[in-house]
Structure 1
Amino acid sequence: MAGQRGKRGGRLERLAQRAAKPAVDPCPPGQIGGTYKPLSDSDLRRIYDTALDLLEKLGIGEVPDRLHADLLAIGAIDNGKGRVLFPPALVEEAIDQAAKTFTLHGRDSERSIEVGGNKVYFGTGGAAVQTLDMDSGIYRPSTLEDLHDFTRLQDTLANVSWFTRCCVATDVPDNYDLDVNTVFALLKNTTKPTATSFTLAEYVAPIVEMLDIAAGGPGEFSKRPFMKAHISPMISPMRYGEDAVDVVYECIKHNIPISCITAAQAGATAPATLAGFLAQSLAETLGSLLMVHAIQPGYPMVFSNWPLVIDLRTGAFSGGSGETAVLNAASAQLSNWLGLPSGVACSMTDAKAIDAQYGMEKGITSIAAALAGGNLIYESSGMTASLLGASFEGFVLDDEMHSNTYRALRGIEVTDENLGFEAICNAVLEEGHFLGGQHTYAAMERDYFYPTLADRNEPRTWAENGAQDAWGRAKTKAREILSSHNPAYLTPQQEQEIRSRFNILVS
């Protein structure tokens, strides 16, 4: 046995080993979730049955005329009182025929991800109107330049699997220019899967022309769409929003995958009880699915049931609460139980600073959603101040947090080699420890994540290195990335053509 151990010699070699990336990434995106189940089987059935009852007996109001006709054509019922009712068999038909998995393409195919099943991915979302300034440490209005910078920054972060604008360019007052320049920022600065929103349906077709330019020519984008749309066609409680429904029709016409987002708030636009909230929110998100089913059965749609919480004492939105954690985990469990691609929203801290509250709230909410198997976890990077703010340092810190979460999801592989019988015998009979053994080195390469921002030094070494906190370390890294990473994912010809046809507001 002694001959099998092997040792590595030399301090320099060991230091190089520690500095190098592991041969095998111990915690890549797409780990398997679903082990955390806050709802029992009977709980799932009761919530689902209540949602079916709501759709059958209460139905959905304020149905736009075009959608009204399409819904009745597939078997929905007008109750004569301004509401459309959905028989349970129709709901189950929509679920059965829904897309269960589909690809979110990146312009770089190596960055595409498969949505659905039990794989977990962290990504972004949000519409922060303020940015945490890295120089002053104080919030200021978000700008178009910030959006470009956030897009460049996240392009380097392995655990942001898709990028939706995290902030609104408040210095662009015209809605059409805002939508155009948001998409341009994504095209110029990342080749990951992306997502955007459209203020009005008439903005979709011209923006698709811009996407075609980036894709290589007229009609090319729709062949392999690398941008999805975030749409909220359902207004809680239980009614459709006409402008958003119109956007859905246009996106389906142009083959843009969609996330249909329900964002009810407990105690305000949905019941304060968690079970009642889940029943209404599920019914509303099923209402979005029924809309898609009426337009084009099986169309790629992320079932984005996002339970949001308010502080019932003040009415303020609360993104970092324990209730947010368990509600979004339960939402992911419900969606997965139905076999639908799930989208939830977690890691939306209420903290304004990058402090202990920030870390605690992001950690508990994001890992709960991941353990429950949320396929796409939105708002999970860089968001602060109850979604009012976005932070460059936050993006960097959250990326490292996600690596730890993925490592937890990966779990423990029990194999003959990993059980280490021979390694234990060698250590006990020879040197009395496991340091330097080949079994240990193999595990070091394969099984452990080594953070670059979290400080594991002893207090004296930490003090000698400047006693820096996580906020400071993340700020340094964010600045390094922004000073060095200036991608040009549009060719000069593509950019020139876009600028000649659209009002692009950055030089």
Structure 2
Amino acid sequence: MTEPRRKRGAERTNNRGPAAIPQLPLRRVRNPYPPMALLSDDQIEAIHEASLHILENFGIELMSSRALALFEKAGAKVDHATQTVWLDRGLVDQALKTIRPTYTLTPRNPERKIHLGGDTINFTLVAGPPNVHDMERGRRAGNLRDYSDLVRLAQHFNCIHLIGNQVCAPVELPANSRHLDTYFANLTLTDKAFHVSAIGRGRALDGVRMMAISRGLTLDELARDPGVTTVISVNSPRRYDEFMSDGLMAMAEHGQSVAVTPFTLMGAMSPVTLAGALAQQNAEALFGVVLTQLVRPGAPVMYGAFTSNVDMRSGAPAFGTPENTKANIASGQLARRYNLPYRTTPGSASNAADAQGAYETMMALWGAVLGHGNLVYHAAGWQEGGLTASFEKFIIDVELIQHMMEFLKPIEVNEGELALDALGRVPTGGHFFGAQHTLERYSTAFYQPLLSNWHNFEAWREAGGLDATARATRVWKKALEEYVEPAMDASVREEMEAYVAKRKEEIGAGEP
């Protein structure tokens, strides 16, 4: 791991003057409003019954001999030749009795602990794109330098609660060991919880062990107080590949969080109808939930949803559509049906950090919030349908997230807020600018944006006439200047460096 370009916290001073980027303080974000219900109770039960029919009669392909053996031992019907499992409702019901409706993830900084389940909502950095983009350098292959800067931005902004899996893939590094470099970046450049790769048992365990090292814990201690999570992407329709299955089992075995997430694009990987796609999604998600509980009863698991549609003219994925938004809300109803924490996603298919990118993301974000998502994945920086991590889109999304956080703050109604004294003192036809009530509150009364420009046209033009995307470039560059690397004990860093070196040697020798 090369020396970070930013100075570490002990070497930085006076970085937050009056001109620092305005942002909301670190806080646990709660959704105090009732969840929206697009589906009636009868409709939810119809989808539930349809998903059980899929599990009992159509089956799920499971490409892992160990997982097949677990299901067979539990009483499921298993065909080893076709690697198919038929799961009866009794096994589903039994597994749902041991799940945890809420749990926490504790990173190396316990002040950054995140709560999953209930009314808490968390937002994450984009994860997985092979490309990266900004307005000054253009679109390029993912690399460790950009990866590190995106992670620094995630650390800098309080509204990002969790680091996703490989913000952009550092393709210049060996594919079989680059996860070690990204884990090291996550743990040294931030002190937040992060997502580990579950492409096989080895990658998952490396993330678990490195988090344990950063916290000075044994694996048994970490199992009792988990610190990392992963997403198990189902190969829809109805297939769990070997790597995902083994990664799921490794995480569950070590008591770490798993979000089982079918990728159900209506018209391609699932039926073209929303009800049919939800039934398939639900069956695939329940199957993974059951597997986590067969491995370790009580293992932390989330209900993941990623249902959207394709453009039927081209077959290209579409996100932030009305159908996607409805799926985000309805999936929340299904998650609550099983008393599971809920992972969802806002997204956009736009190829640029433009108006389309913003309105599609906000549309899907509303679905995530109204559906009471607990983990809003890919919340900042997602562009081009997930193929690119964008610096400008990251800033635009942070603005959207902070707007949503302020919207979620309940309205206060009390003597001071009702302002009867001010109303009585300001004459008819007067104004409230100079009222004492206003003067006492003017600096904190309203949300202060980090990106929006509210100047009149002449003032805006005189300042350069920059649109939101151009202003976003300035913001991310300034945020990197303000970034402070969180302190880490030198002995802990050395232990992690030694672990990374040892694992790279083992992987190079052909070990998993």
Distance 1:213 1:296, change over 3 A: closer
Deviations 1:351-380 (A, max 9, x none): 222211121111111122112211111111
Deviation at 1:178, TM superposition (A): 1.2
Deviation at 1:411, TM superposition (A): 4.5
Distance 1:153 1:480, change over 3 A: same
Structure 2 residue 228 is matched with structure 1 residue 239: no
Could you tell which deviates more after superposition, 69-78 or 437-446?
Answer: 437-446
Q: Partners in 1 of 2:30 and 2:162 — Cα distance?
A: 12
Distance 1:354 1:208, change over 3 A: closer
**Equivalent residue, structure 1, for 2:4:** none
**Equivalent residue, structure 2, for 1:323:** 323
Deviations 1:77-132 (A, max 9, x none): 34797532222233233223211000021221111111101222221342111111
RMSD value, Cα: 2.9
Tell me the amino acid that sits aligned with residue 122 of structure 1. F
- Determine if contact 1:60/1:84 at 8 Å carries over to the other structure: yes
- Determine if contact 2:120/2:374 at 8 Å carries over to the other structure: yes
- Determine if contact 2:253/2:295 at 8 Å carries over to the other structure: no
Deviation at 1:70, TM superposition (A): 2.1
Q: Partners in 2 of 1:384 and 1:72 — Cα distance?
A: 42
- Determine if contact 1:25/1:446 at 8 Å carries over to the other structure: no
Deviation at 1:306, TM superposition (A): 1.6
**Equivalent residue, structure 1, for 2:5:** none
Distance 1:420 1:53, change over 3 A: farther
List aligned pairs for 1:95-244, cutoff 5 A: 95-136=96-137, 138-164=138-164, 165-175=166-176, 177-216=177-216, 218-219=218-219, 221-222=222-223, 224-232=225-233, 234-244=234-244
1:434 aligned counterpart, secondary structure: coil
List aligned pairs for 1:409-424, cutoff 5 A: 409-415=408-414, 417-424=416-423
Deviation at 1:489, TM superposition (A): 4.0
Deviations 1:219-240 (A, max 9, x none): 46445432222223x3211232
Deviations 1:405-430 (A, max 9, x none): 1222335334454344444333357x
Distance 1:489 1:261, change over 3 A: farther
**Equivalent residue, structure 2, for 1:90:** 91
Deviation at 1:18, TM superposition (A): 12
Q: Partners in 2 of 1:337 and 1:190 — Cα distance?
A: 35
List aligned pairs for 1:267-278, cutoff 5 A: 267-278=267-278
Distance 1:92 1:404, change over 3 A: same
Q: Partners in 2 of 1:244 and 1:350 — Cα distance?
A: 26
Distance 1:103 1:62, change over 3 A: closer
Question: TM-score w.r.t. structure 1 length?
Answer: 0.87
2:231 aligned counterpart, secondary structure: strand
**Equivalent residue, structure 2, for 1:405:** 404
Structure 2 residue 49 is matched with structure 1 residue 49: yes
**Equivalent residue, structure 2, for 1:3:** none
The share of aligned pairs that are identical, in percent, is 28
Distance 1:281 1:145, change over 3 A: same
Question: TM-score w.r.t. structure 2 length?
Answer: 0.86
**Equivalent residue, structure 2, for 1:5:** none
Deviations 1:459-504 (A, max 9, x none): 1111111111112221112112223425154333333333344249
List aligned pairs for 1:305-454, cutoff 5 A: 305-346=305-346, 348-415=347-414, 417-428=416-427, 432-441=430-439, 444=442, 448-454=446-452
Q: Partners in 1 of 2:26 and 2:439 — Cα distance?
A: 14
Tell me the amino acid that sits aligned with residue 191 of structure 1. D
**Equivalent residue, structure 2, for 1:303:** 303
Could you tell which deviates more after superposition, 349-358 or 418-427?
Answer: 418-427
**Equivalent residue, structure 2, for 1:468:** 466
Distance 1:207 1:344, change over 3 A: closer
Distance 1:440 1:258, change over 3 A: same
2:426 aligned counterpart, secondary structure: helix
Deviation at 1:335, TM superposition (A): 1.1
Deviation at 1:33, TM superposition (A): 5.2
1:67 aligned counterpart, secondary structure: helix
Tell me the amino acid that sits aligned with residue 362 of structure 2. G
2:400 aligned counterpart, secondary structure: helix
Q: Partners in 2 of 1:301 and 1:56 — Cα distance?
A: 22
Q: Partners in 2 of 1:139 and 1:448 — Cα distance?
A: 36
2:344 aligned counterpart, secondary structure: strand
**Equivalent residue, structure 1, for 2:72:** 72
- Determine if contact 2:148/2:189 at 8 Å carries over to the other structure: yes
- Determine if contact 1:117/1:339 at 8 Å carries over to the other structure: no
List aligned pairs for 1:9-24, cutoff 5 A: none
- Determine if contact 2:134/2:392 at 8 Å carries over to the other structure: no
| Number of equivalences | 484
- Determine if contact 1:182/1:196 at 8 Å carries over to the other structure: no
Deviation at 1:398, TM superposition (A): 1.1
Q: Partners in 1 of 2:430 and 2:21 — Cα distance?
A: 28
Deviations 1:287-346 (A, max 9, x none): 111111211122101211221322121111222322222212221232123321000111
Unpaired runs of at least 5, structure 2 = 1-16, 505-512
Deviation at 1:34, TM superposition (A): 4.4
**Equivalent residue, structure 2, for 1:480:** 478
1:97 aligned counterpart, secondary structure: coil
Distance 1:135 1:445, change over 3 A: closer
Q: Partners in 1 of 2:110 and 2:26 — Cα distance?
A: 22
Q: Partners in 2 of 1:446 and 1:49 — Cα distance?
A: 50
Distance 1:212 1:338, change over 3 A: closer
Q: Partners in 2 of 1:214 and 1:371 — Cα distance?
A: 36
Distance 1:63 1:338, change over 3 A: same
- Determine if contact 2:197/2:204 at 8 Å carries over to the other structure: no
Distance 1:83 1:205, change over 3 A: closer
- Determine if contact 2:35/2:371 at 8 Å carries over to the other structure: yes
Tell me the amino acid that sits aligned with residue 149 of structure 2. D
1:394 aligned counterpart, secondary structure: helix
Distance 1:62 1:17, change over 3 A: closer
- Determine if contact 1:63/1:84 at 8 Å carries over to the other structure: no
**Equivalent residue, structure 1, for 2:283:** 283
Tell me the amino acid that sits aligned with residue 114 of structure 1. H
Deviation at 1:217, TM superposition (A): 5.7
2:260 aligned counterpart, secondary structure: strand
Distance 1:47 1:145, change over 3 A: same
Distance 1:33 1:385, change over 3 A: farther
Give 1:498's match in structure 2, choosing from 490, 496, 499: 496
Deviation at 1:456, TM superposition (A): 0.6
